[in-house]
């Protein structure tokens, strides 16, 4: 699928007005819906953006706040019968026991979605790697990802190019230098990203969200062949 978002989710990125987000998202969704057959996901926590994106051809809602910012997204997903991805976001609410916190938060979001009428089979869970987690907590979540299976829903993993990869590989200083020269850090984190995806699949990830699609598709195919015989 293609995931379209109009507002940056990087740490400390400012929220943008709804009108601006609509201006960025809707034309892209409309064009993609005309040109490709792949499902389109809209990455937003704003009700009106999600509503108009679905009308424009999107097939899924990806909520990085797990219904904490806008509970009505669940009602919209129920009415339109589209899948709803619920992410656990710890920004502004740090915790110590990260795995139990994430499981509890996702269980709350699932129950909230079900109460709004979202079908059980339309719910996807995302542990929210990097979103308010300390670097070591992101690593712990990856290693213990299989514990999220207790929720009984497909697990979406979004670890691609996250800052904890740069932290582990000690790339921070080098990346800052490259950013000053306007050189993107993607090539520096691609190997680390591949490792997180392979281990994530071993630990039960069903969907991975990536930037470098061609390369990471090969990682997924190889990992699936080893782990699931696919």
Residues with active-site annotation: 162, 209
If you count them, how many residues does the chain have? 230
The tokens for 208 are 């991975």
Q: Are 98 and 140 in contact (CB under 8 A)?
A: yes
Residue written as token pair 């009415």: 79
What residues pair up with 2 in beta bridges, in sequence order? 40
Q: DSSP code of 65?
A: T
DSSP H/E element including 110: helix 98-115
**Residue 178 CA, distance from chain mean position:** 26
């Amino acid at each position: 699928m293609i995931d379209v978002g109009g507002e940056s989710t990087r740490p400390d990125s400012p929220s943008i007005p709804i009108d601006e987000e609509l201006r960025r998202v809707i034309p892209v969704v409309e064009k993609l819906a005309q040109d490709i057959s792949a499902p389109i996901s809209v990455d937003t926590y704003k009700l009106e953006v999600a509503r108009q994106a679905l009308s424009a051809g999107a097939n899924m809602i990806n909520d990085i706040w797990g219904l904490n910012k806008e509970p009505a997204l669940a009602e919209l997903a129920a009415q339109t019968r589209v899948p709803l991805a619920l992410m656990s976001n710890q920004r502004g609410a740090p915790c110590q026991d990260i795995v139990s916190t994430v499981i509890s938060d996702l269980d709350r979001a699932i129950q909230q979605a079900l109460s709004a009428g979202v079908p059980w089979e339309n719910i996807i869970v995302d542990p929210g790697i990097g979103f308010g987690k300390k670097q070591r907590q992101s690593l712990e979540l990856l290693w213990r990802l299989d514990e999220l299976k207790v929720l009984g829903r497909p697990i979406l993993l979004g670890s691609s190019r996250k800052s904890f990869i740069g932290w582990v590989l000690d790339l921070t200083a080098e990346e800052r230098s490259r950013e000053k020269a306007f050189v993107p850090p993607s090539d520096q984190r691609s190997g680390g990203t591949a490792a997180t995806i392979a281990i994530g699949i071993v630990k039960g990830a069903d969907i991975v969200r990536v930037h470098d699609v061609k390369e990471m598709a090969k990682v997924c195919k190889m990992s699936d062949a080893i782990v699931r015989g696919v």
